[in-house]
Amino acid sequence: MVAIASREIRDGDLVFVGMRLPILAYAVARNSHAPSARGLFEVGLMRDQPASGFLGTMGDPPNVAGALWATRMSNAMALLAQGSVDLGFIGGAEVDRFGNLNTSYVGDPSRPKVKLPGSGGGADIAILSRRWVTLMSHERRRLVERVSFITSPGYGDGTPAWRKRNGLLGGGPVAIITTLCVLRFPETGGEAFLDSVHPGHTVDEVLAETGWPLQVSDAVSETSAPTKAELTAIRQFDPDGFWTGASR
C-alpha cells in the first residue's frame, strides 16, 4: 500500500501528508520519482527531505530538524485554504461508492454503535486540497453503499457537480487504495470503479469484499508490484516494520 500510495505523488507536488502510512509514502516518493515534492504537516511543518529518523507521528523530533518551516497550524491551513495543496492523504474507517469518508460515528451519532476518533485534519484535506487519496483495509464492513456519517466529503450523493454546488473548493478524491486493489474515480467525479487488483488477489475477491455493486473498468489490470527502489526506501524509513510489519 505504501509503494502504491507513493506513486500518487507527482514530482513538484505540495503534499498534505497526514499520519501513519502516508508519512512513509512521502519518504518513498521523495527517494524515487518525486525528488522535488514538498510535504506539509498540519502540526505546523513543511519539509523537503524526508526525516532521517523513524517517525511514529508527524510531530516527532526527526521531522522537525531540518524542516523548511516550523510554524502554527493555522499557517499550514492557510496554504490549504488557498488551494495550494496539490495532494492530500486521508485514512478511512468507512468509505462509500462516492468516496465519502466516515471517521466519526458508526450508527446514530447521538447513540453511536462505534465512536471513531474524528476528523483530525481529514475533513479539511477532503474539502480544500486539489486532489486526495484514501488508504484503507479492504473489508465489506468498511466499503459500504453509503456511509452513515460524512466526516470528509467525497462526491456527496454522487449527482453531477455536487461539490461545486455545495461550495467545496478542492477537486475531490482521485483514488481509494485498499489492501486488495486500487479504486479510481472518473475525472468529473462521481462513483468509484475498480482500476487494478494487487498481485495475489482477484476481481471476484474484491467484489465479494465490497458493500456495493462495484463497477469494474474494461481496462482493469494487475497493480504493479513494488519496485526494488520502493522496497529499499520502505526498509530505510521503517527499519523495524512498525508500520509495514506483519503485525500491523
Partner 1 sequence: MAEAIERFVPDGATVAMGVALEPLIPFAAGHELIRRRRRDLELVGPISDMLFDQLIGAGCVSRVTAAWVGNVSEGLGHCYRRACEAGVPRAIEVHDHSNFSISLALWAAAWNVPSLPTRTLLGSDIVRTNPNLSVRDSLVEVKAVRPDVAIVHVQRADELGRVHAWGPLGVTEEAGLAADRVIVTCEELVDASVTLSDPNRILFPETKVVAVVHEPGGAHPSPVQGHFKRDHSFYRDYGERSRTEEGFRAWLDEWVLGVQDRAAYMRRIDVQSLRIATHRPSVPADFGYE
Return the residue of 22, 39, 88, 153 that touches partner 1, per CB under 8 A: 153
Q: Which CB atom, from 59 or from 211, has the smaller least distance to partner 1?
A: 59
> By CB under 8 A, what part of segment 34-63 binds partner 1?
41-45, 56-61
**Min CB(36)–partner 1 separation in Å:** 23
Q: Is 211 in the site for partner 1 (CB under 8 A)?
A: no
Contact (CB, 8 A) for 37 and 12:
yes
Q: Is 42 a catalytic residue?
A: yes
**Min CB(99)–partner 1 separation in Å:** 12
Helix (H, G, I), strand (E, B) or coil at 89: strand
The DSSP secondary structure of 160-229, one letter per residue, reads TTHHHHTT--S--EEEEEESSEEEE--TT----EEEEE-TT--HHHHHHT-BS--EEEEEEEEPPPPPHH
Q: Which CB atom, from 12 or from 66, has the smaller least distance to partner 1?
A: 66
Return the residue of 11, 35, 114, 235 that touches partner 1, per CB under 8 A: 114
Q: Which CB atom, from 204 or from 240, has the smaller least distance to partner 1?
A: 240
Tally of residues, the chain: 248
Return the residue of 49, 79, 84, 112 that touches partner 1, per CB under 8 A: 112
Question: From edge to edge, which strands make up the β-sheet containing 193-197?
Answer: 69-70, 45-47, 38-41, 14-16, 87-91, 131-136, 173-178, 181-184, 193-197, 215-222
# chain residues binding partner 1, by CB under 8 A: 54
Interface residues with partner 1 (CB under 8 A) are: 19-20, 41-45, 56-61, 64-65, 70-74, 77, 80-81, 104, 109, 112-124, 126-128, 149-153, 156, 162-163, 166-169, 242
